[in-house]
Amino acid sequence: MPQLSILIPVYNEEESLPELQEWIYAVMEASRLDFELIYIDDGSSDESWKVIQALSQKDCRVKAVRFIRNYGKSAALDVGFSKADGEVVVTMDADLQDSPEEIPELYRMIKEEGYDLISGWKRKRYDPLSKTLPSRFFNGVTRLLSGIPLHDFNCGLKAYSQRVVKNIHIYGEMHRYIPLIAKWNGFGKIGEKEVAHRPRKYGTTKFGLERFIHGFLDLISVSFVNRYRKNPMHFFGALGTLSFLSGFIITVWLIFEKIQGLRNGVAVREITDQPLFFLALVALIVGVQLFLTGFMAEMMTSNTSRKSDYNIAEEIKKDN
């Protein structure tokens, strides 16, 4: 087992790859770390795969996977995690904006200080304001909602212990929330390291402003899935109870008001002629539907739950 796996998602970065690999090898040689290098070509339309093939022929420590089309960074990382054999896994971007010089210290923090995950923090960035200002707002909101004191959730330069990458699953565009996913899977020792950020040397950025809109939607999604995946009835049942009780209380009030009016000889409209009646009816129906949704979700959860869904920290086996 190598000490370190360096995982690099690649999308149209043919120009930067040779320089990046040379830089990584120089740093690894100086630090004397046993490592493997893993490229995940996320459906590049340029010559990135040919460059990777040429680089892999120079050293048997290079692994590579090529997607038939572009699936996104989360898919690349998820597949890369499954291929990584190192005690520590470091992820970094292929555009030369992440410095390999940071890797030895990231490795040390995981191995010696016992962190589950270390996230990079690009405190000084070489990006336009149109990118840095929304990023700060996004990170602030994520930090507030997640309770994880990180400044840069979306930094591509991160280090993980092997048990983290083997026990989390990311999909869609959830790579932004790996610290949050790790925390909810029981890996709570998460740290941060200030890292150097370099200006882009080749090509153009692959991300636009729409990623921040998608990012907030993903935050809502990952929060919901991780909190209620095992007990969906807690969510749907609570909403169903609130809706049903609201409708029931309104209905009782309308009936009470009608009876009081009849007793006192006061003219009162028919219950079915009052707008509140239809509001109560809708609330009752929605409440029942939410309950049924919760029951169905619980049944699906119980049928699909597996022992592998639970992360085991340690196990002691006794010989017979």
- How much is the pLDDT for 314? 54
Q: What pLDDT is stored for residue 268 in this prediction?
A: 73
**C-alpha span between 20 and 31 (Å, rounded):** 17
| Domain coordinates in residue numbering, the chain | 4-228, 232-306
Distance CA 154, CA 168 (A): 17
Fold that domain 4-228 belongs to in CATH: Spore Coat Polysaccharide Biosynthesis Protein SpsA; Chain A (3.90.550)
Residue 224: pLDDT above 70?
A: yes
Which residues 6+ apart lie within 8 Å of 190 measured at CB?
115, 116, 117, 118, 119, 148, 150, 179, 182, 183
Mean pLDDT for the chain overall: 84
pTM (2 decimals)? 0.73
The predicted model gives 261-284 an average pLDDT of: 84
Which residues lie below 8 Å from residue 83, measured CB to CB, with a gap of 6+? 38, 63, 65
Distance from C-alpha of 49 to C-alpha of 53, rounded to nearest angstrom: 6
pLDDT on residue 264? 82
Share of the chain above pLDDT 90, in %: 45
Highest mean pLDDT: which range of 193-197, 227-231, 272-276: 193-197
The pLDDT-based confidence of 273 (bands split at 50, 70, 90) is: confident
Over the stretch 88-146, which tens digit does the pLDDT of each residue have? 999 999 988 899 999 999 999 999 999 999 999 988 776 666 666 777 777 888 788 77
Q: Are 118 and 158 in contact (CB under 8 A)?
A: yes
d(CA 136, CA 104): 27
Residue 184 backbone class (left: φ over 0; alpha: ψ -120 to 50; beta: rest): alpha
pLDDT at 199 over 90: no
pLDDT digits (tens, 9 = 90+) for 20-73: 999 999 999 999 999 999 999 999 999 999 999 999 888 888 999 999 999 889
Residue 184 has a pLDDT of 83
pLDDT for 275: 86
